[in-house]
Homo-oligomer: A and B are copies of this chain.
Amino acid sequence: MHPHPPVRSNQDVCDSSHAQLFERVCTHARQTAVLASVESLLGWDEQTMMPPKAATHRAAQAEAVATLVHRQRSDPGYGEQLESLASGPLAQEGTPQIRTTIRLLRKDFDKNARVPERLVGALAKTCVEAQQAWVTARAESSWSTLEPWLRQVFDLKRELAACQMPGADPYDALLDDYEPGGRWATIAAQFNELRAEIVPLVQACAAATRRPDDAIARRHYPVADQQRFVREVAARIGFDFQRGRLDTTKHPFCSGLGPDDCRITTRWDAHSLPTALYGVLHEAGHGLYEQGLPTEWYGLPPGEAASLGIHESQSRLWENLVGRSPEFWEWCFPLTQAAFPDALADATAAGVQQSLMVVRPSLIRVEADEVTYNLHVMMRFDLERAVVHGELAVADLPEAWNDRFARDFGFRPPSDAEGVLQDIHWSAGLIGYFPTYTLGNIFAAQLMAAAVRHLPDLSDDLAAGRFGGLLSWLRQHVHAHGRRFESAALVEQATGQQVSARWLVESLWRRYGQPHGLS
């Protein structure tokens, strides 16, 4: 980085020097984003392609790139340039994108520059080791194997929170990395409202005399046929395979490696139609968001995702609100039957669609249905928040987990492997991450309700496999804004209504009540 030229008294020169300064700052930020995208490739390759014995070297590669990225992000000369910009005319009078860029690059810099390289290294190293401990702990259902590592991780994350946002609530500081501007107290209020509705819905479904049967979804669906089929569905909803690809992993994910390089993954089960299909609809939903961000602003806030909650809203919208709807199956059923003629010879669109609406309390979050899923997430949020706030000791997590699970689900986990040890998130340092899953569901339901109001032909369009109208609406109201608005403001602007869980509650009761014969 070079220091920026001094500001002269002549107004033109001043404007021009600020414009040049803005260009230099953007170049630095873009170059840093390019380097960070190499980290993403290292991660994608590790999950999908890397030979088993290459893990040690991969860790060294990731550490090398991460260190260079952190150095560029916290470069003092870059920070000085940002400070000049923030107090200059462009921060007030620039276009909305320019103002957004200056404001958020400055915020990011301030957060990054306050974190010592020692802490970055310690977190990276501890989380790698903690994840290895987690693999063993889960396999052996051994809480004591993981506990000391989780204590270290929570301690380091509290230290990180204090560095990144001194004076802020520590949970809010951690949340800010995933859900910028989010506040735990607001989320807790929304979640309590939601939980008060979902627990009775789950109980009503369990007690219902009419219940959907998923036998049809468990027939034999040859994997090679599924591979062709789900690619076609993903392309049909708009995922661009010229700018992305689909691979196989144990845990599905979506990774944006560049403005024209979005990679999604799924898993395959020959005796389950939904596993791969809904994995792909979910990840392709993330992918549509990545592919819809303004590429001309790549590497800068107007070209970045607003938050993980907004990201999750896009995946959930396509997975659940589109993908499980009767309209979607009106279009998709003939395609599905043609792909799996043996399994579906005697089936109907309505039969397949209803088979996807089973509600069944279960132990494992990633296998949960759409309704109970939120209960899993909300309890993790409450538990991790209590630990960060010092109200709950790491050592007491298993008991707190089991007690809460029993209250929400009606039975206790038979083992820690099926309880507190099931998720990798905490050992990976992802604290403040869980709530974004349910925030995504809340945002998705509210956005979908608005889309229904704005797009009178939506129902017919979905039933005919025309997904372009909905996608355009999301592009315009969500994707095009990048990181300009925090998630609540973005949803409010798109929908004209304050963020609330009530659309999600309404959607779940309506869509799951009917197949269970509830009024």
Contacts and interface: CB of A to CB of B under 8 A. Distances in A.
B65 A38 contact: yes
A1 interface: no
Contacts of A57: 34, 37, 257-261, 298
Contacts of A262: 51
Interface in A108-148: none
Interface of A: 31, 34-35, 37-38, 41-42, 45, 49-54, 56-58, 60-61, 64-65, 68, 240-245, 257-263, 298
B60 A34 contact: yes
A90 to B, nearest CB: 25
Given A34-B57, A53-B261, A54-B257, 18 more contacts: A35-B68, A38-B61, A41-B41, A41-B42, A41-B61, A49-B49, A49-B245, A51-B241, A51-B243, A51-B245, A51-B260, A51-B261, A51-B262, A52-B242, A53-B260, A54-B258, A54-B260, A61-B258
A67 to B, nearest CB: 9
Contact of A34 (B37, B50, B64, B258): B64
Contacts of A52: 242
Contacts of A258: 54, 57-58, 61
A49 B263 CA distance: 10
Nearest to A262: B51
Given A49-B245, A54-B257, A61-B258, A38 B42 contact: yes
A51 B259 contact: no
A259 B51 CA distance: 11
A2 to B, nearest CB: 15
Contact of A45 (B41, B51, B58, B242): B41
Contacts of A56: 260
A275 to B, nearest CB: 24
Contacts of A60: 34
A64 to B, nearest CB: 5
A65 B56 CA distance: 20
A365 to B, nearest CB: 30
Contacts of A68: 35, 68
Contacts of A242: 51-53
Contacts of A58: 258, 261
Contact of A54 (B31, B45, B64, B261): B261
Contacts of A61: 34-35, 37-38, 41, 258
